[in-house]
């Protein structure tokens, strides 16, 4: 049953424009590598750890290779050459470089095929390890009770991973399905990944591999107690996107915030760097069976949610097109949108619901991620709790998949333990109370909602066609997204973008894509395929 009558020819036009936009970026993605991608290659090959100044070994190796002008060939080639020449393991080489006992200047070029043999041996090992982690997740999901979507997503943000664990476990016991550990503010601008368990962060906890592992173990334990699989989320964004994707793949994270344009617009990270990094990071996420969450909600925190609704939809199309090109399956693409209209607006709920239904219809297989009110939360926790209730009602009626729960103390502090309990209680009450309302209602033909949805779609389509005509990078330079103008050569991280040489070598994209493009690739994310829950999409259609 078509719930809102949406002009599907416009949807097709928009999707094809988004495809042209993504295709326009691809030559840049193919021609360049970045320091973070090269560090990722080292991490995938098993390099981890820091020197005595807490500088991560992957940074030391890549910085030295970059200074020697060697990154254009790929770090995999040069580290392989160094291993052959010195007769040392990867971590021995890295430590020797850190102590300045070995220098890339003194490493001669080795035979390419020999290097490939050495590196591919290691690469195959890590690929099967990551695949093993994916299959482990699938077993855990199939072996536990599945919640009914919308899945309840809450955040923890104490700054101390051990405190986060206490809060995450409490939230899971209250009924949360998904736990996101908010990152310390500013981590997106660090050009390295901090190391080890951390207990001091600002407004969040540093994303480190050790912290990932600690939380994963805790959620597996509480999941066993509750008989449900509790999903873990972190942030695969900023200057270290693909490195964090790798850490998540190794530690079996289930979701990653991973937007193609967020860093450019809202963190002033260079656009070339971001487009190149997002491609490789999404490939890793795809292979690991991770669901990505895109960040369209951010468009509405700086602009009016009613006026700018079409920019959210346009960005969803672009994120979808880019994600598909990185090998993600549609049910791994958690496109974001948000309930952010001014609560004083007459019929605001109708517009919100219209847009939520529209997204559901346009992206039928996507595990849509619905974000709660934040901009108009004031500190009046009582009204805030009501606004969150309306948001929850919109979520359950429109069949959203991932419901990021609103917290009554938004705008006051990062959620306290009781705030999270109240948020979950609110969601459970409304979603249970109105569970099948979705199946009982249809919308009025040519009514306020249908008109609204088609108006937003039309605007988004024309915006996408404009962007496709001038290219995505030019559109960003012109300030077409979020009214933010970014220069092609501006922002942070451009110095880490390197044109690949003819001989560039990175074993992973090929190994990943081979599996991702095979017809067998169908990660289990949301339930037991035997019960008809395999891809999830059946559940929220």
Range 468-497, binding other proteins (CB under 8 A): none
**Whether 541 is catalytic:** no
**Using the rule CB under 8 A, is 428 a contact of other proteins?**
no
Cβ closest to other proteins, residue 174 vs residue 476: 174
Look up residue 79 and give its two tokens.
Answer: 């580290």
Task: Determine the Cα–Cα distance for residues 425 and 118; give it in Å rounded to an integer.
Answer: 54
Task: Determine the Cα–Cα distance for residues 265 and 297; give it in Å rounded to an integer.
Answer: 13
Q: How far is the CB of 237 from other proteins (least distance, A)?
A: 12
**Using the rule CB under 8 A, is 112 a contact of other proteins?**
no
Task: Determine the Cα–Cα distance for residues 435 and 429; give it in Å rounded to an integer.
Answer: 10
Task: Using the rule CB under 8 A, give the single segment among 261-269, 357-365, 395-403, 450-458 that binds other proteins.
Answer: 261-269
The residue count for binding other proteins (CB under 8 A) is: 29
Look up residue 122 and give its two tokens.
Answer: 């290691």
Name residues whose C-beta falls within 8 Å of residue 125's C-beta, 6 or more positions apart in sequence. none
Phi-psi map region of 227: left, alpha, beta (phi>0 left; psi -120 to 50 alpha): left
Q: How far is the CB of 324 from other proteins (least distance, A)?
A: 30
**Whether 297 is catalytic:** yes
Q: Which of 229, 262, 287, 421 is catalytic?
A: 262
The HSE-up count of residue 133 (CA atoms within 13 Å, CB side) is: 23
**Using the rule CB under 8 A, is 342 a contact of other proteins?**
no
Q: How far is the CB of 425 from other proteins (least distance, A)?
A: 8
Other residues' Cβ atoms within 10 Å of the Cβ of residue 158? 23
Residue from 24, 46, 49, 186 touching other proteins (CB under 8 A): that is 186
Q: What is the DSSP string of 215-248?
A: HHHHHHHHHHHHTBPPEEEEE--GGGHHHHHHHH
Residue from 12, 54, 304, 510 touching other proteins (CB under 8 A): that is 54
**Using the rule CB under 8 A, is 52 a contact of other proteins?**
yes
Residue tagged 């108009």 (tokens): 376
Classify 522 as helix, strand or coil. coil
Rg of the chain on CA atoms, in Å: 23
Cβ closest to other proteins, residue 193 vs residue 524: 193
Cβ closest to other proteins, residue 52 vs residue 113: 52
Range 270-309, binding other proteins (CB under 8 A): 302
Task: Determine the Cα–Cα distance for residues 498 and 505; give it in Å rounded to an integer.
Answer: 13
Residue from 203, 330, 343, 490 touching other proteins (CB under 8 A): that is 203
Residue from 189, 350, 389, 458 touching other proteins (CB under 8 A): that is 189
Q: Which of 177, 235, 369, 421 is catalytic?
A: 369
Other residues' Cβ atoms within 10 Å of the Cβ of residue 408? 24
**Using the rule CB under 8 A, is 46 a contact of other proteins?**
no
Other residues' Cβ atoms within 10 Å of the Cβ of residue 473? 19
* Nearest one of 254, 263, 210, 262 to 232, comparing CA atoms: 254
Cβ closest to other proteins, residue 167 vs residue 315: 167
**Using the rule CB under 8 A, is 372 a contact of other proteins?**
no
The HSE-up count of residue 538 (CA atoms within 13 Å, CB side) is: 12
Residue from 105, 200, 344, 502 touching other proteins (CB under 8 A): that is 200
Question: Quick one: which H or E segment has residue 358?
Answer: helix 348-362
Residue from 56, 58, 149, 159 touching other proteins (CB under 8 A): that is 159
Task: Determine the Cα–Cα distance for residues 59 and 239; give it in Å rounded to an integer.
Answer: 12
**Whether 299 is catalytic:** no
**Using the rule CB under 8 A, is 174 a contact of other proteins?**
yes
**Using the rule CB under 8 A, is 160 a contact of other proteins?**
yes
What residues are annotated to the active site?
262, 297, 369
Which positions touch other proteins (CB under 8 A)? 52-55, 159-160, 169-174, 184-186, 189, 199-200, 202-203, 266-268, 302, 414, 416-418, 421
């Amino acid at each position: 049953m078509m719930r809102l009558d949406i002009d599907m020819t416009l949807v097709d036009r928009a999707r094809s424009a988004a495809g042209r936009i993504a295709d326009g970026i691809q030559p840049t993605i193919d021609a360049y590598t970045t320091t973070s991608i090269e560090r990722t290659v080292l991490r995938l090959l098993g390099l981890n750890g820091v020197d005595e100044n807490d500088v991560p070994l992957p940074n030391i190796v890549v910085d030295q290779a970059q200074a020697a002008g060697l990154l254009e060939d790929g770090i995999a080639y040069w580290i392989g050459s160094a291993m052959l020449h010195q007769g040392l393991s990867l971590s021995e080489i890295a430590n020797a470089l850190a102590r300045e006992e070995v220098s890339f200047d003194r490493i001669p070029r080795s035979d390419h095929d020999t290097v490939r043999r050495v590196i591919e041996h290691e690469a195959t090992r890590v690929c099967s390890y990551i695949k093993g982690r994916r299959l482990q997740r699938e077993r855990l999901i199939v072996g536990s009770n599945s919640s009914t979507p919308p899945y309840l997503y809450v955040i923890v943000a104490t700054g101390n991973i051990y405190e986060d664990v206490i809060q995450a476990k409490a939230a899971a016991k209250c009924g949360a399905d998904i736990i996101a550990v908010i990152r310390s503010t500013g981590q997106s601008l660090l050009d390295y990944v901090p190391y080890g368990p951390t207990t001091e962060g600002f407004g969040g906890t540093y994303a480190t591999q050790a912290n990932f592992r600690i939380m994963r173990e805790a959620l597996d334990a509480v999941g066993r107690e509750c008989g449900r699989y509790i999903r873990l989320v972190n942030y695969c964004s900023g200057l270290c996107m693909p490195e964090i994707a790798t850490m998540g793949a190794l530690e079996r994270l289930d979701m990653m915030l991973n937007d193609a344009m967020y860093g450019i617009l809202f963190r002033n990270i260079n656009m070339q760097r971001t487009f190149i990094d997002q491609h490789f990071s999404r490939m890793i996420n795809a292979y690991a069976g991770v669901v990505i969450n895109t960040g369209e909600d951010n468009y509405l925190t700086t602009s009016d949610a009613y006026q700018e609704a079409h920019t959210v939809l346009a960005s969803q199309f672009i994120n979808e097109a880019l994600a598909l090109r990185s090998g993600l399956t549609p049910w791994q693409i958690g496109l974001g949108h948000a309930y952010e209209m001014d609560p004083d607006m007459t019929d605001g709920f109708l517009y919100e619901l219209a847009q939520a239904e529209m997204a559901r219809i346009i992206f039928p297989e996507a595990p849509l991620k619905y974000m709660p009110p934040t901009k108009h939360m004031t500190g009046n926790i009582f009204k805030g709790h009501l606004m969150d209730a309306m948001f929850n009602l919109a979520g359950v009626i429109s069949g959203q998949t991932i419901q990021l729960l609103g917290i009554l103390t938004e705008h006051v502090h990062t959620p306290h333990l009781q705030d999270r309990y109240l948020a979950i209680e609110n969601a459970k009450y409304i979603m249970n109370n109105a569970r099948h309302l979705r199946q009982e209602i249809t919308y009025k033909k040519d009514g306020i909602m249908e008109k609204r949805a088609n108006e937003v779609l039309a605007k988004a389509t024309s915006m996408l066609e404009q962007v496709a005509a001038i290219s995505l990078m030019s559109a960003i330079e012109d300030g077409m997204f979020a009214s933010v103008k970014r220069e092609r050569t501006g922002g942070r991280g451009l110095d880490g973008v390197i044109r690949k040489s003819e001989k560039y070598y990175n074993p992973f994209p090929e190994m990943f894509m081979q599996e991702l493009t095979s017809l067998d690739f169908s990660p289990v994310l949301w339930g037991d395929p035997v019960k008809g829950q395999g891809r999830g999409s059946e559940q929220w259609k």
